Chains A and B, each alone.
Chain A
Amino acid sequence: MPDREIDAIILESCRRGDREAFRTLYETHKDKVYSLCLYFFHGNEAEAADVTQEVFLKLHAGIAGFRGDAGFSTWLYRLVQNACLDASRRNAARARLNTSADAPVPSHEAHLINAAESAIVQNAVSSLPPKFRLPILLRYFEDLSYEEMSRALDCSMGTVASRLNRGHKMLAGLLAPLRKNAAKGGDDV
């Protein structure tokens, strides 16, 4: 998915302190940001909400200086990355794999099979080291190119490629139970 050109009017209105315009910006991007944070933090909604709030507050504080020479989404992902990594460092224990305590509790939904599979996937992604987790999440949610990710993650394209490669391999191993289930003809999308 290419970086979307944001409405220049909305952006300019945000720069001038228009709260309604900032709300529009927030509504446009909040779900993606929240989802990225949620899967980064093992499905921990409280942590995801904290970091989401932090991202948008930083966005609001920094929007006056956003010149638009890089894509808006690239800048936003940079904020997301920094906020996730900062929070992760502050809560080092929570960032490690914890399949039981932090895994999202399936509700009484009827789709228990899908719920269980999602929990596996979510935990697998969350268990990746942070520097592999974010590239995988950005690849999944936003389909960024190497160049876009390198700008967002502030590293070289070669580094992006390397991290994706290692992240894929680790994820493949963690998701092996899911693939076995699919091979047996289990419920699958």
Chain B
Amino acid sequence: MFNRRPQGPPHHNEAIAQALSHLPVVEAPDAIWNSIEASLDRPQPAPASAPRWNLWLLAPATVLLIFIAAWSWNLLHRTRWQVVRTSNGAPTRTETVAAGDWLQTDASTRAEMRIGDIGTVEIEPNSRLRVIATSANNHRLSLDHGEISATISAPPKLFFVETKSATAVDLGCQYDMKVDEAGNGLLRVTRGWVSFEWQGRESLVPAGASCRTRAGSGPGTPFFDDAPQRLTAALDQFDFAAGNEAALNAILANARSRDTLTLWHLLSRVPAPLRTGVFDRMVSFAPLPSDVTREKALALDPQTLKIWKDELAWTW
């Protein structure tokens, strides 16, 4: 009983919730961190009472910025994300966005968007995206075109970036995503890992790897950024140009032991008659784990593939 969320008296709750929606999350002023850091740098123990902040009254620009930031949140929706636009590195404007809002940058501006309290997204010039959802369990953007870099610190599957050809499901990480106006794009992961999904097709992209996506096809097969160019070219052919056995053979021929990331994904994407070639190439790099059998792997048994992936991940 006590693990449920408090409901409150029914006739009060709705009015209160509605009224409380007026109260925004207010951004803490930057100066607080400066004072914290100064306190930490001092040799004495942290003071029990904080220093007074009368100095703020002497900084009208700071006060104005605080009010503008605080009251900018006071728009239609309870949960709004702050956006700071910059030009040549200098902040030019602060605004907030809510679900349904579009955000666009031109050739000379960037923007940094705060994603609730789980991270930030940097938006490169000439980009356009829409905020889809800003709720606690669903932070969701749709990238129409352009480039973003996301740094997220949260449990998995709270942050999503949709494109016309795939959705990046954050599993805790840092990544860049670039998309053109047709919805073709490239996801590159620099920390953690990302699940790149579209209509049931999923690519797991760990740090140091990338994955292309094409409108109408969804995410391609992930590859490491240091993979041989012949491998990535053949992979492009295989994923998006109705690549045939020749393309697959080129992938297998140029694969290194680390490229079992690519091969593991290919195993379930190649036609059944070609699966043995992929399997054999994989085991040439790393022996099968004890609870993985050739038969089950070739039959694409989900549990078997998971066990194998978990073991292969040690080489990625």
A and B touch in the complex (CB under 8 A): yes
A interface with B by C-beta (< 8 Å): 1, 4-5, 7, 10, 19, 23-24, 26, 28-35, 38-39, 45-46, 49-54, 56-58, 60-61, 90, 104-107, 109, 111, 114-115, 117-118, 121-122, 124-125, 139-141, 143-147, 149-150, 157, 160-161, 164-165, 168-169, 171-172, 175, 178-179, 182, 188-189
Contacting residue for B33 out of A26, A51, A104, A111, CB 8 A: A26
A121–B20 touching, CB < 8 Å: yes
Is B316 interfacial (CB-CB < 8 Å)? no
A35–B33 touching, CB < 8 Å: no
Contacting residue for A34 out of B15, B32, B56, CB 8 A: B32
B26–A35 touching, CB < 8 Å: yes
CA distance in complex: A144, B63 (Å)? 32
- Chain A binding surface SS class: helix
Is B25 interfacial (CB-CB < 8 Å)? yes
28 CB contacts below 8 A, A to B, read A4-B155, A10-B153, A23-B33, A24-B153, A28-B153, A30-B28, A30-B32, A35-B25, A38-B26, A49-B32, A50-B49, A50-B50, A54-B49, A60-B46, A61-B46, A106-B71, A107-B67, A115-B74, A124-B19, A140-B23, A145-B5, A146-B4, A157-B2, A165-B9, A171-B16, A178-B15, A179-B15, A179-B19
Stretch at the interface among B75-83, B161-169, B223-231: B75-83
Write out, one digit per residue, whether chain B residues 26-69 have a CB within 8 A of any chain A CB (1) or not (0): 11110111011101100001111111111010000001101110
> Which residues on the B side are within 8 Å of A182 (C-beta)?
18
Is B12 interfacial (CB-CB < 8 Å)? yes
A147–B32 touching, CB < 8 Å: no
CA distance in complex: A38, B64 (Å)? 16
Interface size on B, residues (CB 8 A): 64
A47's nearest neighbour on chain B, judged by CB, is: B53
Chain B nearest CB, measured from A88 CB (Å): 13
Is B117 interfacial (CB-CB < 8 Å)? yes
Beyond A28-B153, A53-B39, A168-B8, whether A118 also contacts B74 by CB under 8 A is yes
B19–A178 touching, CB < 8 Å: yes
CA distance in complex: A90, B50 (Å)? 12
Contacting residue for A29 out of B66, B76, B117, CB 8 A: B117
Chain B nearest CB, measured from A51 CB (Å): 7
Name B67-122 residues within 8 Å CB distance of A.
Answer: 67-68, 70-72, 74-78, 117-118
Beyond A10-B153, A53-B39, A168-B13, whether A143 also contacts B50 by CB under 8 A is no
A169–B9 touching, CB < 8 Å: yes
A109–B21 touching, CB < 8 Å: no
Contacting residue for A168 out of B16, B45, B117, CB 8 A: B16
> Which residues on the A side are within 8 Å of B71 (C-beta)?
106-107, 109, 111, 115, 118
B117–A189 touching, CB < 8 Å: no
